[in-house]
Amino acid sequence: MDHNAALTTCSTSAIPRLARLATERIAELIENDALPEFDHKVIASCSNDIFEVLRQKKKLNHQTLQTMCSTSRFQINKIDLMGNKVELQDLELCSNQNLVSFRLGDIDYFPNTNKIQVADVLDTALNRTSRQQLRHLDLSGRHRITSNWPTYVARKLPRLESLAFANRSTANETLSQIGASLLNLRFLDISSTCVTDISCISSLRNLEVLIMYNLNILKGDVTETLSNLTKLRVLDISRKVNTDYLQETSQDAHLDLALGIYNRSVEAIESGTATPWAELRAIDMSGLSIVQFGTDRALAFVEKIIEAHPKLEQISLLATPLDSSLIEIPNRNLQVINTVSRRSIIFALSHYANLDRPAFITHALHSVYYQLQSGYDKFSQEELKECLRLVCISMQQGLNTLPVQIAGSACLYHLCKMKRIKRLSVKEVNNCIERSLDAAEQYRSMTQLQKNVWLTICNDYLLHLDEIDFYRTCKVALDTMLLNRDASVERMTIAIVSIVTPKMRPSEAKILTTETKYVYHLVKIMNDYLEAYTREHRVGHERDNENALYTLKFTLSALWNLTDECPATCKAFLDAGGVQIAFRILKAFDYHGNVQTKVLGILNNLAEVEELHLGQLCKNEYISVLISCLDGSFNEVDSKGRYREVERSYFAAGILANLLTNTDGWESENQRDEACEKLLELIEQYPTLPSAMVSYKSFIPFSRIVRESNSNGAIMWCLWGVHHVLQHREKNKAPTYEKGYIEMFMDSGLSPIVEDMSHGHSKHIHNLDIRVVHLAREIIDIVSCHSLSSSPVRLVRRV
């Protein structure tokens, strides 16, 4: 038998149902308070679904509740407030609907005492009809609640059948009240409470489901108590894995429960009778440390329990000595939940993913991780998709549990690793990214988690998809960069920032680039790695040198993109001392044209900003560096087919062009004339490149210089840049300007000016250089013909 055979579940389409799409759209409209008027009530099932979408998005507030609880529009019979910040006055809105199910969650209501006043809350949220018909009440949560609420429930909620108060600090007294008064209960969940004695529930003879996860029972005859619950169909006695020696006593007490069931089972088998739980269908024993029996005896132990309960359909043994054991019972259709096979692991994760069982979820995720790591090609398409879906659900549900996030993010890394990612739909990849970013935001200083996240997202294929939320990705990366100085995390986050910044929409990019804290930090990193590089650049430390250089390059790329046409960011860079550091890098990396090009790109962006008054850049020491960067062997091509020295020269020229136009800080007229002549001379030598080395969001910087500058060299630089992107416009799309470079040129106002220049005329420069005239003519020819083709795109801002 192949235990790793593909799941037999049907493959479902990735396209959501129309009902789901409409539900989500309506929820969005309600969230934005934009729901149109309509003339009919929405049926309960649809209303409940819309409400649930809002809850999951944590968008339940006064406004959305007011809309949803309007009786003229929606018919809600199930309200779940878990995870949302709801106040008492908002609960009044719930009383507009007639409910059969109510889940409270942790609301912010602590009048006088430090406890949620359950009776008050229920009085507020439930109208008379709701109280009369309510069947399901879930009071689970983390905050303290009053202890006498069962009396209220017994008096006011006569039809109640299902009750949960997991994770509350509820003790035996409250349970006693329940046992004395809520005799109709069929479902009871007292998991992770302070209950230590369950004797009083022996009177709840209608119970069919009893959930006692992580309960420390210390007193009473548990087995005898349970033997009175003859209608039990589901019993959960699972326990969080606990190695704390100090809780040995409670562990022993808990073992009695499983042992008691075993003993009753043996008695039944030997006597040929049934146990008290003849109707038992499912039992959860996960996490129980029956280790003292050893694996073989543990197996015999479990087999007796199974044998004694002929209707048993499911037994959970995750994180027990039988976690990896194959359990097969002849002639029984029994589902065993453990990690014996890939199939069973996936099933285990599906079983616990939506439950509040972080320890078991983590355990299952670890097993998934090992399967993903060791069986790269063994996952079928269905298994891979199911794995991803379950990992994402687990991470979403367990956002506040670090082990879940660490294990889940490790799984996501492997799901997106190498060629595997190409087997996923874009929507699935997006889900991976969103869950990863959620985790990164939740645990910013947890280095291992951050590494998992950014290793996942640092994926060429992933980062070049068009449907990613680039804004959020960039923002989370920037915030992580500020808070986590681990070298590898820093390297990855900076790389991601440099890649995704130009992909954001302009309005989104502006939000981020106006945050000066990011730029200040990046400038600091520039300086740190410059110093580290120069200090560590010695024999025997090549790897450190390489890492430092790598980080520096990405830092520069990020700053280059962040400062692009953003005066606020440019000013922040200047104020942070970035200019001085930039020129130090230009000198230190004299033989690294790539690094120099990035630095020059940043300085070029600064030089475009007139308000900065960068007169300081006209110092001889800076101008001489820039002029030296102008020069180069322009016909040399590197191994990737790029004309690196043209790129470097072009960006150095851009700085000078802007300085020639904007500033009066030149030390002498001769210095200025020399720079201008140098520009003309060297730009004329640029070869025609086979592909684009740069892309522009707009021609505004060019337009300003061409309109205002009295420097032939500056204008020459602009015209060459325009000519370059026009020449390769077919395969080098203008980012964020869908109409393309021809339209950009026409819309920029450059056209009539360049037209005049092509005829040797200019309104503001008397002696137009013939080289400028020639270039202007070429541009006009391109625009007129509008049909030149170009070579494949090679963007200089790619790293």
Partner 1 sequence: MDKNGSAAGGFQAASNKDDGLEEPDSQKTGAKPQPVPISGLEGPRSKYVKLVSNDDHEFIIKREVAMTSKSLRELFANPTVDLAAANNTVYFSDFQSHILQKVCHYLAYKTKYRHSRVAPPFDIPPDIAMDLLAAANELEC
Sole binder of partner 1 in the list 5, 183, 418, 426 (CB under 8 A): 426
Judged by CB under 8 A, the stretch of 42-50, 75-83, 137-145, 402-410 that binds partner 1 is 42-50
Return d(Cα 52, Cα 96) in angstroms, integer: 17
Helix axes 487-500, 542-562, angle to 10 degrees: 30
Any contact of residue 381 with partner 1 (CB under 8 A)? no
Any contact of residue 330 with partner 1 (CB under 8 A)? no
Sole binder of partner 1 in the list 1, 8, 10, 36 (CB under 8 A): 36
Q: Which amino acid appears at position 532 of this protein?
A: A
Quick note: the x/- pattern for partner 1 over 45-84, rule CB under 8 A, is xx--------------------------------------
Any contact of residue 646 with partner 1 (CB under 8 A)? no
Tokens of 389: 């879906």
Residue 83 and residue 55 in contact, taking contact as beta carbons nearer than 8 Å: yes
Q: Which amino acid appears at position 283 of this protein?
A: I
* 98-108: b (≥16 Cβ within 10 Å) or e: bbebbbbbbbe
Judged by CB under 8 A, the stretch of 36-44, 222-230, 388-396, 408-416 that binds partner 1 is 36-44
Nearer to partner 1 among residue 459 and residue 561 (C-beta): 459
Return d(Cα 42, Cα 53) in angstroms, integer: 15
User: Phi first, then psi: what are they for 80, rounded to 5°?
Assistant: -130, 120
* Residue ranges in 272-357 assigned as alpha helix (H): 294-308, 342-352
3-state secondary structure of 126: coil
Sole binder of partner 1 in the list 7, 29, 241, 700 (CB under 8 A): 29
**Three-point CA angle 154, 157, 158, nearest 5°:** 80
Sole binder of partner 1 in the list 38, 110, 376, 461 (CB under 8 A): 38
Q: How far is the CB of 416 from partner 1 (least distance, A)?
A: 14
Quick note: the x/- pattern for partner 1 over 453-482, rule CB under 8 A, is --------------x---------------
Sole binder of partner 1 in the list 3, 17, 311, 378 (CB under 8 A): 17
**Three-point CA angle 269, 228, 259, nearest 5°:** 50
Q: How far is the CB of 426 from partner 1 (least distance, A)?
A: 5
Write 423-428 long-range contacts (CB < 8 A, 24+). 423/381, 423/384, 424/384, 424/385, 424/388, 425/14, 426/465, 426/467, 427/14, 427/467, 428/14, 428/385, 428/388, 428/389
Nearer to partner 1 among residue 6 and residue 511 (C-beta): 6
Q: How far is the CB of 67 from partner 1 (least distance, A)?
A: 12
Any contact of residue 384 with partner 1 (CB under 8 A)? no
Q: Which amino acid appears at position 561 of this protein?
A: N
Number of neighbours of residue 34 by Cβ within 10 angstroms: 8
DSSP 562-613: HTTT-HHHHHHHHHTTHHHHHHHHHHHTTT-HHHHHHHHHHHHHHHT-GGG-
Nearer to partner 1 among residue 10 and residue 18 (C-beta): 18
Judged by CB under 8 A, the stretch of 28-36, 266-274, 305-313, 372-380 that binds partner 1 is 28-36
Tokens of 617: 């850049």
How many angstroms separate the most distant Cα atoms in the chain? 115
Any contact of residue 682 with partner 1 (CB under 8 A)? no
Nearer to partner 1 among residue 6 and residue 770 (C-beta): 6
Placement of tokens 């020459």 in the chain: 716
Any contact of residue 21 with partner 1 (CB under 8 A)? yes
Sole binder of partner 1 in the list 3, 6, 9, 19 (CB under 8 A): 19
Q: Which amino acid appears at position 353 of this protein?
A: A
Nearer to partner 1 among residue 6 and residue 300 (C-beta): 6
Any contact of residue 180 with partner 1 (CB under 8 A)? no
Judged by CB under 8 A, the stretch of 23-31, 580-588, 701-709, 766-774 that binds partner 1 is 23-31
Q: How far is the CB of 18 from partner 1 (least distance, A)?
A: 4
Q: Which of 749, 768, 765, 665 is nearest to 708 (CA)?
A: 765
Quick note: the x/- pattern for partner 1 over 717-756, rule CB under 8 A, is ----------------------------------------
What torsion, rounded to 10 degrees, do the Cα atoms 541, 544, 549, 552 define? -140
Q: How far is the CB of 41 from partner 1 (least distance, A)?
A: 10
Any contact of residue 10 with partner 1 (CB under 8 A)? no
Nearer to partner 1 among residue 19 and residue 788 (C-beta): 19
Judged by CB under 8 A, the stretch of 318-326, 398-406, 422-430, 596-604 that binds partner 1 is 422-430
Any contact of residue 42 with partner 1 (CB under 8 A)? yes
Judged by CB under 8 A, the stretch of 29-37, 81-89, 133-141, 350-358 that binds partner 1 is 29-37
Nearer to partner 1 among residue 10 and residue 246 (C-beta): 10
Distance between the two ends of the chain, CA-based, in angstroms? 50
Nearer to partner 1 among residue 67 and residue 140 (C-beta): 67
Quick note: the x/- pattern for partner 1 over 194-223, rule CB under 8 A, is ------------------------------
Any contact of residue 14 with partner 1 (CB under 8 A)? yes
Interstrand relation of 187-189 and 282-284 (parallel, antiparallel or unpaired): unpaired
Sole binder of partner 1 in the list 22, 100, 234, 402 (CB under 8 A): 22
- Kindly determine how many residues on this chain lie close enough to bind partner 1 according to the rule CB under 8 A: 26
Nearer to partner 1 among residue 6 and residue 15 (C-beta): 15
* Structural element, H or E, at residue 164: strand 162-164
Placement of tokens 């005329």 in the chain: 761
Sole binder of partner 1 in the list 8, 13, 243, 789 (CB under 8 A): 13
Q: Which of 575, 596, 557, 565 is nearest to 474 (CA)?
A: 557
3-state secondary structure of 714: helix
Placement of tokens 């060459």 in the chain: 720
Nearer to partner 1 among residue 73 and residue 797 (C-beta): 73
If phi > 0 it is left, if psi is from -120 to 50 it is alpha, else beta; for residue 556 that is alpha
Residue 145 and residue 174 in contact, taking contact as beta carbons nearer than 8 Å: no
Q: How far is the CB of 472 from partner 1 (least distance, A)?
A: 18
Q: How far is the CB of 380 from partner 1 (least distance, A)?
A: 16
Sole binder of partner 1 in the list 23, 191, 203, 711 (CB under 8 A): 23
Q: How far is the CB of 36 from partner 1 (least distance, A)?
A: 5
Q: Which amino acid appears at position 724 of this protein?
A: H
Nearer to partner 1 among residue 18 and residue 785 (C-beta): 18
Helices (H) and strands (E) in the chain, counts: 34, 10
Q: How far is the CB of 50 from partner 1 (least distance, A)?
A: 8
Number of neighbours of residue 467 by Cβ within 10 angstroms: 10
Any contact of residue 640 with partner 1 (CB under 8 A)? no
User: Which residues have a Cβ under 8 Å from the Cβ of 53 and sit 6 or more positions away?
Assistant: 23, 24, 27
Q: How far is the CB of 458 from partner 1 (least distance, A)?
A: 21
Return d(Cα 405, Cα 438) in angstroms, integer: 9
Tell me how long the chain is. Answer: 799
Sole binder of partner 1 in the list 18, 246, 539, 785 (CB under 8 A): 18
Environment class of residue 670 by beta-carbon count within 10 Å: exposed (0-12), middle (13-18) or buried (19+)? exposed
Nearer to partner 1 among residue 31 and residue 236 (C-beta): 31
Any contact of residue 433 with partner 1 (CB under 8 A)? no
Q: How far is the CB of 21 from partner 1 (least distance, A)?
A: 6
User: Phi first, then psi: what are they for 315, rounded to 5°?
Assistant: -135, 130
User: Which residues have a Cβ under 8 Å from the Cβ of 112 and sit 6 or more positions away?
Assistant: none
Any contact of residue 425 with partner 1 (CB under 8 A)? yes
Residues lying near partner 1 in the complex (CB under 8 A) are found at: 13-15, 17-19, 21-23, 25-26, 29, 34-36, 38, 40, 42-43, 45-46, 424-427, 467
